[in-house]
Amino acid sequence: MRRLLLLFFCLPIMAQAQVNQDSVMIKKMADEIMTNGKAYDLLRELTKKIGGRLAGSPQQQNAAIWGKRNMEAFQPDKVFMQPCKTPNWQRGGKDFAAVVGINGRATTQKLEVLALGNSLGSNGLVEADILAVANFEELEKRKDEVKGKIVYFNSEFDPTLVQTFRAYGAAGMYRRSGPSRAAKYGAVGVMIHSLSSAPDNAPHTGAMVYDEAQPKIPAVALGPTDAKALYALAKKITVRAQMQTYGFYLPDADENNVVAELKGTEHPEEIITIGGHLDSWDVNEGAHDDGAGVVHTMEVLRTMKALNYQPKHTIRFVLFANEENGGKGGAKYTELAKLNKEKHILALESDEGGFTPRAIAVSCTPEQLAYFQTWTPLLKPYGTEVTTGGGGADIGPLTGYDKSIIISSMIPDSQRYFDVHHAKTDVFENVNKRELLLGAVNIAAFIYLVDQHGVN
């Protein structure tokens, strides 16, 4: 009985001692990153020396070599490549669109456009009247008017949605499937409002997917200013437009995931994965999407090695080969994990930019979420809390072979992300060093806590 009473009184003291120990370690990590962090310098190298990294391009292959070399310099237990095939879509030329007629009167008003990723070439100029619709519901109501037209979808963000990723998700269906939905009724081309709320006229590209049962018509995104003006005009009068795209596919490319590993000292068979994706679109430097996630991943590795941290679980640091137009990097990582019968307990992805961190989001059971949220006081001093709803395109496939795997993500402030997302403005100059490093701090802290205390 006396031993039980002693244990009863000692438990709170022991728990507080552990909290203090965790707080001290997280502070060491934060100080190391904010003082000696290399993420910003690495991002400069990736964006300025290598540049845009479209899947299948020489730049993408150079990025994998660069990632492997730099992670080897941090001296993890091992670094290895995972070969995978990726799509090899080529833009092929300078995309073009213009208004050439208003109510039958000839004019020439060039539009700022980018072909959507995976869009095929138009085989010359396509000229037709514009059919402007607000949404798929209006398209269905007006399907008899579609044949021979260029359909414009007004895929603007809902400005009332404070969480911009919700607005992106709602508008994104027009980019992804709008061309095939319009082609079903005889459209000869598609234009959309760029998936952005930026008050500028820079068009934003991004992946679309053809329905193989429908004609593969060309598709472009308009700069926000031009898109708004075109929609307002085409809803009132007859507008005629031209468009031309040049996209085509080469055979699938040979690419690689790059993986660094710290071997666990107590549970080496249980794996924690952190990652971001190396590829970007061709029109920018991919600084926020996803250069930030790449260097976050590398910075956590560098910091753990700098502090001589010995993890209990095996920690993987993964630079995924292809997320933007196929998700082949994440699929290959999962395929090999399944083949090797690996036990993954948690995966975290950074793929929402390098802005000020706001939360670590976790997809798990309510009981597990409550457990993770006990760590919020340790994370709050660095700007985040634990919330629900985490995940990512690269790590999502892991849940397909083991439903117990917990997926999570670092959530930065998103209000400016879609100003640059998939546009020419996603460049190194638009990343703030301090915000970028703080993202790495919060990822490192969360991964440390998972490693120390497990997932339930």
Buried b (16+ CB within 10 A) or exposed e, 121-159: bbeeebbbebbbbebeeebeeeeeebeebbbbbbbbbee
Residue with tokens 């061309």: 179
Sequence ranges of the domains in the chain: 25-88+251-453, 93-247
- Please give the average per-residue pLDDT across 75-89, as a whole number: 98
- Please give the average per-residue pLDDT across 441-452, as a whole number: 98
* Paired residues of 409 in beta bridges: 349, 361
- Res. 3 pLDDT band, cuts 50 70 90: low
Instruction: Dump pLDDT digits (tens) for 17-50.
Output: 778 899 999 999 999 999 999 999 999 999 999 9
Q: Which pLDDT belongs to residue 7?
A: 46
- The overall longest dimension of the chain from CA atoms, in Å, is 97
Q: Which pLDDT belongs to residue 17?
A: 72
- How confident is the prediction for the chain on average, in pLDDT? 96
Residues 81, 83: Cα–Cα separation, whole Å:
6
CATH fourth-level superfamily of 25-88+251-453: Zn peptidases (3.40.630.10)
Percent of the residues in the chain that have a pLDDT greater than 90, as a whole number: 95
* Ordered alpha helix ranges (H), 220-327: 224-234, 292-306
Q: Which pLDDT belongs to residue 10?
A: 53
Other Cβ atoms within 10 Å of 67 Cβ, number: 28
Residue 143 has pLDDT above 60, yes or no: yes
Percent of the residues in the chain that have a pLDDT greater than 70, as a whole number: 97
Instruction: Find, among 295, 434, 450, 420, the residue nearest to 360 by Cα.
Output: 450
Residues 305, 11: Cα–Cα separation, whole Å:
32
Q: How many Cα atoms within 13 Å fall on the side-chain side of residue 444? A: 33
Buried b (16+ CB within 10 A) or exposed e, 183-206: bebbbbbbbbbbbbbbeebbbbbb
Q: Which pLDDT belongs to residue 6?
A: 47
Specify the amino acid at residue 390.
Answer: G
CA of 354: how far to CAs of 210, 305, 323, 386, in Å? 31, 22, 17, 18
CA angle 248-424-160, nearest 5°?
105
Dump the DSSP string for 234-262. HTTS-EEEEEE---EEPSPEEEEEEEEEE
Residue 11 has pLDDT above 50, yes or no: no
Residue 385 has pLDDT above 50, yes or no: yes
Residues 188, 370: Cα–Cα separation, whole Å:
52
Residues 242, 188: Cα–Cα separation, whole Å:
11
Cβ pair 59, 50 in contact under 8 A: yes
Residue 148 has pLDDT above 70, yes or no: yes
CATH code: domain 93-247 is 3.50.30.30
Instruction: Dump pLDDT digits (tens) for 257-312.
Output: 999 999 999 999 999 999 999 999 999 999 999 999 999 999 999 999 999 999 99
Does a cis peptide bond (omega within 30 degrees of 0) precede residue 144?
no
